[in-house]
Structure 1
Amino acid sequence: MYLKLPKAKFTMNCSGNTRYIQLDTTYRKGHENGSLKFLLWFAYVLGVLEGAIVLLVWLFLFRVHHDPVSTMQGYILVANGFKRFSYAKLKKATRGFTQEIGRGGGGVVYKGVLLDRRVAAIKRLKEANQGEAEFLAEVSTIGRLNHMNLIETWGYCIEGKHRLLVYEYMEHGSLAQKLSSNTLDWEKRFQIALGTARGLAYLHEECLEWVLHCDVKPQNILLDSNYQPKVADFGMSKLRNRGGLDNSSFSRIRGTRGYMAPEWVFNLPITSKVDVYNYGIVVLEMVTGKSPTAIPDTDAQGETEQRGLIKWVRDRMNGIGARGSWIEDILDPVMQGECDLRRMEILIGVALECVEEDRDSRPTMSQIVEKLM
């Protein structure tokens, strides 16, 4: 190092010429210099990471702006934890869609084993003309529903014309399959009625969006290993404002022959009371063991023929054609001598309220739950 000394002030008996003095200085790399270098590198790496994050966010926003379908898909995957399956993987899981376990107006359901060894019910939807955005919107709605008495959805597939949904597999199948066997005693049937009411009450009154099922029937009530019910098949459901809607809002009449509410037939506004009516018919079927179309009503026409079962129960309740106790007279023979007659009377009374012609006379699903508790 060299120091330049001013000539005017610092002479120190030196000559007038500028003098340069060389100082021997040794620099050693200390602890402070190492820490400073580490901090600089850390700041550099942090800056790179922040820049990468900003770039990724910008790319995501750009994709959102230009691809609304992918936006919806991303929302489903991130917010709901859904998995998008390829058609090839689901075909392999079902062994080429060979093990059929259910069939309905919305499609066919197959049993399959996923790559993670989970057993699944895979529904292949029949109406393949639905657009991708519309399908993903409905799947997004399903993913936001979470209740112990609703079937859990694990994922979906959308490739070309293929539309599939992947559900948890229910060991005991559907209520429809079990009603024809001797496995459902009184207590199981009562708990199925109560659990189904809870699931529908959640759809109607507790979830963020109002959901109408529109096709409540034994085939759409599944039973787990403990015979707890889970309402399934929301392919028929509709999201609506809570004020009801005009029948013309639907592309076609929804529901199943024998279970449909009068509103469908008489072109009246559709509300949650259509599900209440369906539920009442299902309960009467569970109590009597009779299909709603098994007892014809000579006064009924077309889609209202389920009134034959309703009229038959009411006649027995009023003492018409009854042999002894009217309750025991209408019971499914499987439950004879084992049911709680007091609770059975409450259950039948609730079912008959649900199937009133005037929808305003029907209770809500939450009121039904309270009555059965």
Structure 2
Amino acid sequence: MNLIEIWGYCVEGKHRLLVYEYMEHGSLAENLSSNIALDWEKKFEIAVGTAKGLAYLHEECLEWVLHCDVKPQNILLHSDYQPKVADFGLSKLLNRGELDHSSFSKMRGTRGYMAPEWLYNLPITSKVDVYSYGIVVLEMVTGKSPTGMHSSDSGGAGEHLSVVKLVREKMVTNIGSSNAKESWIEEIIDPSQRVTEKYDSAKMELLVKVALQCVADDKDHRPTMNQVVEMLLRH
């Protein structure tokens, strides 16, 4: 349900062509940068649908698939805004019995969305997709792109620090205040939607807290994508 369908392909000389099903609303990236913003309910459903697609790749396929390039440009939206994960050009296929997931010849992914494991030459598992997913969710909530934010770290994972640090600091700063939940959520949500749209603060808090679990530096502290789906649907 949440993976793009390929209808055909062409290989002729040097020419290569993939034919996907038509996705009326384009990519999530296009929608996030457009003047017509996605409402909060759509954003929540996009987060759930994307998580379902990745969970299928990680745990339900006959062979496990690591996407390795989860970002808004690779999440396409159908006519009803149902999200579908696309672009498997950097993906890695793993046999179910394969324990060593570190057999990557080079780093894969997009700056700002890449997990720390890529930088520190640690074993690569499905948790790299979980990390990237968390960054995408934070981008949807805050309206801040990790690739457009600057950091003193020149590494591939350095640019995400601003958006993750921003959200963590706002949440911690407001703990203990009388209206803690409303205040920290209010301070981090996309400014373009802060005044114009009502939102379910409990649902938004859940979405942000799940995203922060996904971007834990230690991969063992991140949930699986199946656990992410369960946490979001529990609401």
- Asked whether the 8 Å contact 1:293–1:309 carries over to 2, the reply is no
Between the aligned partners of 1:165 and 1:294, the Cα distance in structure 2 is 29
> Is 2:79 the counterpart of 1:225?
yes
1:354 aligns with 2:208: no
1:291 aligns with 2:149: no
Tell me the secondary structure at the aligned position of residue 16 of structure 2: strand
Matched with 2:109 is: 255
> Which structure has the larger Rg over C-alpha atoms?
1
Pairwise CA distance, 1:339: 1.0
Kept in 2, the 8 Å contact 1:296–1:309? The answer is no
Select the residue among 329, 345, 348 that pairs with 2:187: 329
Q: Deviations over 1:263-310 (max 9, x none)?
A: 111111110000000000000000000011333334x33212211211
Partner Cα distance (2:124, 2:191) in 1: 36
- Aligned counterpart, 1:167: 20
CA contact (8 A) 1:293 1:308 kept: no
- Between 1:162-171 and 1:185-194, the stretch displaced more is 162-171
Q: Which residue of 2 aligns with 1:370?
A: 230
Post-superposition CA distance 1:159-182 (Å, at most 9, x none): 223222111111110000000123
Aligned-pair identity (%): 68
* 1:208 and 2:66 aligned: no
For residue 199 of structure 1, what is the aligned residue in structure 2? 53
Once residues 212 and 221 of structure 1 are traced to their aligned partners in structure 2, the CA distance between those partners, rounded to angstroms, is 15
After the TM superposition, list the runs of 4 or more consecutive aligned residues in structure 1 that deviate by more than 4 angstroms: none
Alignment of 1:118-137 (within 5 A): none
In the TM superposition, what are the counterparts of 1:128-147 in structure 2 within 5 Å?
Answer: none
Does residue 186 in structure 1 map to residue 40 in structure 2?
yes
Alignment-derived partner of residue 98 in structure 1: none
Tell me the alpha carbon deviations over residues 109-161 of structure 1, each in whole angstroms, 9 at most, x when there is no partner: xxxxxxxxxxxxxxxxxxxxxxxxxxxxxxxxxxxxxxx11100011112223
| Cα shift at 1:244 | 4.3
- Aligned counterpart, 1:279: 133
User: In the TM superposition, what whole-angstrom CA distance separates every residue of 1:40-91 from its partner, at most 9, and x where no partner exists?
Assistant: xxxxxxxxxxxxxxxxxxxxxxxxxxxxxxxxxxxxxxxxxxxxxxxxxxxx
> How do residues 81-100 of structure 1 correspond to structure 2 at under 5 angstroms?
none
Q: What's the CA shift for 1:363? A: 0.1
1:245 matched to 2:87? The reply is no
Mapped partners of 1:297, 1:316: distance in 2: 18
State the TM-score, normalized to the length of structure 1: 0.57
Q: Residue 319 of structure 1: SS of its match in structure 2? A: helix
- On the 8 A contact 1:185/1:334 being kept in 2, the answer is no
- Aligned residue runs from structure 1 range 28-107, under 5 A: none
Give distance in 1, aligned partners of 2:87 and 2:147: 22
* Partner of residue 136, structure 1: none
Structure 1 CA distance for aligned equivalents of residues 132 and 109 of structure 2 = 9
Letter of the 1:171 counterpart: E
> Which residue of 340, 343, 346 maps to 2:200?
340
Query: Which residue number in structure 2 is paired with residue 13 of structure 1?
Result: none
Q: Partners of 2:89 and 2:155 in 1: how far apart?
A: 25
Matched position secondary structure for 2:147: coil
Q: How many residues are paired up?
A: 222
What residue is the counterpart of 1:124 in the other structure? none
Letter in 1 for 2:173: G
Q: 1:230 to 1:244 in 2, by over 3 A?
A: farther
- Distance in structure 1 (CA, Å) of the matches to 2:77 and 2:134: 19
CA distance in 2, matches of 1:285, 1:196: 14
Gaps of 5+ in 2: none
Note the alpha carbon deviations across 1:329-371, whole angstroms, 9 max, x for none: 0001233251110010000000000000100000000000000
Task: Using structure 2 for the length normalisation, give the TM-score.
Answer: 0.89
CA distance in structure 2 between the partners assigned to 1:207 and 1:334 by the alignment = 39
Larger deviation: 351-360 or 175-184?
A: 175-184
